[in-house]
A = this chain, B = another copy of it.
């Protein structure tokens, strides 16, 4: 038998409905570059779900593409983007933001999150700096929700961040690569319309949420909308057969499939969290969406790696490490069960 992947939420292809939709429309001829009826329909659907009739929706192929395009479109040359030290744009995009000319201004994160207070302080320090023109001006706040640590912003936190951004003239942008998993998580108190109301831009992830690939960028602030298609083309993100992206989002948003798949992943993660509790494994950080960061004895890693893939996140102490398990729309219950049992068995044998 092959190994079972818990290493990420993009190990499979797409939900069957997505493939079916692609097939059904396969030989239909349409306009290129995202100007077809499927993209239009998907954009309308997303604006409805966001309760944001004035927003623009654009479909891009991936998350880094979305991030670098939105950020380069929003910032002036001397502005930088504020992000958590652990933020994806700060760590895992090979300097894509810098390659478009902008500095990432990092803030220490608490469980992957940054706060309105931190942003306000940074802006105030910049504004009061007698040589501020020798430093990068904060121009944007980048959040991810769920964060890289799988945690969620609470509505109150987002409200405060939005407020400080508006006060300080910063664009608020939310990376929603796993937004569905976040919205479906137990205890989450944020809705899609909240996000559309509080952020200037965000994207609703497809790649990790059941699509083959693709992210839906939602531009809420009018100032970001002008000329955005030029940006997409210039950065290499405009798909010739743009319809593929519209079609996939149509399939996912039909009859609430997107939310159903998100819930599935979160329930699988809940079961895994339960299994970890049973096995006596503490968590590095409390999460309720689809990523789980248990602290495991190093001695367990090799036996587990024979059956499962996962990533080693960080060393915790002399003989324990935090690892990351991801569930997804495609995670099979029997695999989570099996992992829970294996963890229990390791716990038992350790005692």
Contacts and interface: CB of A to CB of B under 8 A. Distances in A.
Interface of A: 2-5, 8, 10-14, 16, 19, 22-23, 25-33, 61-65, 68-69, 72-73, 76-78, 80, 91-96, 98-104, 130-131, 133-137, 207-208, 212-213, 227, 229-241, 243-244, 311, 330
Nearest to A335: B29
Given A19-B19, A78-B230, A230-B137, A13 B32 contact: no
Contact of A241 (B101, B133, B207): B207
Contacts of A14: 26
Given A11-B29, A19-B26, A93 B133 contact: no
A137 B234 CA distance: 11
Given A16-B26, A227-B137, A213 B237 contact: no
Contact of A234 (B63, B93, B131): B93
A330 B13 contact: no
Given A19-B23, A92-B134, A236-B237, A28 B12 contact: yes
A134 B10 CA distance: 16
B16 A29 contact: no
What is the interface of chain A mostly: helix, strand, loop, or mixed?
loop
B133 A94 contact: yes
Nearest to A96: B234
Which 4 pairs from chain A and chain B are nearest by CB? A65-B236, A78-B230, A13-B26, A94-B234
Q: Which of A12, A28, A69, A102 has the most CB of B within 10 A?
A: A12
Contacts of A130: 311
Nearest to A88: B134
A97 to B, nearest CB: 8
Contact of A92 (B25, B26, B64, B131): B131
Contacts of A27: 12-13, 330
Contacts of A30: 11
B4 A13 contact: no
Contacts of A134: 33, 91-94, 233, 238
Contacts of A100: 77, 99, 101
Given A10-B32, A78-B234, A236-B62, A136 B95 contact: yes
Contacts of A4: 29
Contacts of A78: 94-95, 227, 230-231, 233-234
B238 A64 contact: yes
Contact of A207 (B63, B72, B240): B240
B13 A233 contact: no
Contacts of A80: 95, 98
Contacts of A11: 29-32
A263 to B, nearest CB: 19
